[in-house]
Amino acid sequence: MSLDMTDTMTLTVTERIDDRGGIARIRLTGDDLPSVTAGAHLDIYLPDVDLWRQYSLCSDPAETGFYEIGVLKDPASRGGSVEVHRVAQPGATLKVEGPRNHFPLDESATKTVLLGGGIGITPMIAMAKRLHALGKDFVLHYCTRSQSVTAFHDALKAAPFSDRVVFHHDDEAAEQKLDLTRDLPAPAPDTHLYVCGPQGFMDWVIDTAEAAGHATGNVHREYFSADVDLTGDSFEVEARASGVTLTIGPEDTIAKKLAEHGIKIDVKCEEGVCGTCVTDVLSGDIDHRDQFLTDEEREDGDQMCVCCSRGRGKLVLDI
Residue ranges for the chain with pLDDT beneath 50? 1-5
What's 46's DSSP letter? E
| Run of H or E residues at 224 | none
- Measured distance CA(167)–CA(118) in Å, rounded: 11
CA distances from 236 to 16, 249, 251, 265 (A): 48, 9, 14, 17
- The superfamily (CATH) of domain 235-317 is Beta-grasp domain (3.10.20.30)
Compute the radius of gyration of the chain from its Cα atoms. 20
Supply the pLDDT for residue 4.
Answer: 47
Smallest CA-to-CA distance from 193 within 152, 142, 138, 143 is with: 138
Supply the pLDDT for residue 5.
Answer: 47
Supply the pLDDT for residue 161.
Answer: 98
Tens digit of each residue's pLDDT (9 = 90 or more) over 219-232: 999 987 767 888 89
- Measured distance CA(3)–CA(102) in Å, rounded: 6
CATH fold, domain 111-223, is: Rossmann fold (3.40.50)
For the chain, first and last CA: distance in Å? 23
- Measured distance CA(294)–CA(299) in Å, rounded: 9
- Measured distance CA(299)–CA(101) in Å, rounded: 23
Tens digit of each residue's pLDDT (9 = 90 or more) over 226-256: 678 888 999 999 999 999 999 999 999 999 9
Supply the pLDDT for residue 75.
Answer: 77
The answer to whether the 3-101 and 111-223 domains have the same CATH topology is no
Supply the pLDDT for residue 1.
Answer: 37
What are the extents of the domains in the chain?
3-101, 111-223, 235-317
Question: Please, are residues 265 and 259 in contact by the beta-carbon 8 Å criterion?
Answer: yes
- Measured distance CA(167)–CA(153) in Å, rounded: 9
Does pTM top 0.85 for this prediction? no
Architecture of domain 3-101 in CATH? Beta Barrel (2.40)
Smallest CA-to-CA distance from 36 within 88, 80, 96, 114 is with: 96
Q: Hey, how many other C-beta atoms are within 10 angstroms of the C-beta on 203?
A: 13
Phi and psi angles of residue 244, each rounded to the nearest 5 degrees, phi first: -125, 135
Single-letter residue type at 99: P
Spacing of C-alpha 209 from chain mean position: 19
Supply the pLDDT for residue 134.
Answer: 98
296 three-state secondary structure? helix
Q: Indicate the pairing of strand 111-117 with strand 137-144.
A: parallel
Spacing of C-alpha 219 from chain mean position: 15
The DSSP result for 62-78, as a single string, is: T--S-EEEEEE--TTSS
| Run of H or E residues at 38 | none
Supply the pLDDT for residue 6.
Answer: 55
Residues 35, 41, 45, 46, Cα dihedral to 10°: 130
Q: Indicate the pairing of strand 111-117 with strand 191-197.
A: parallel
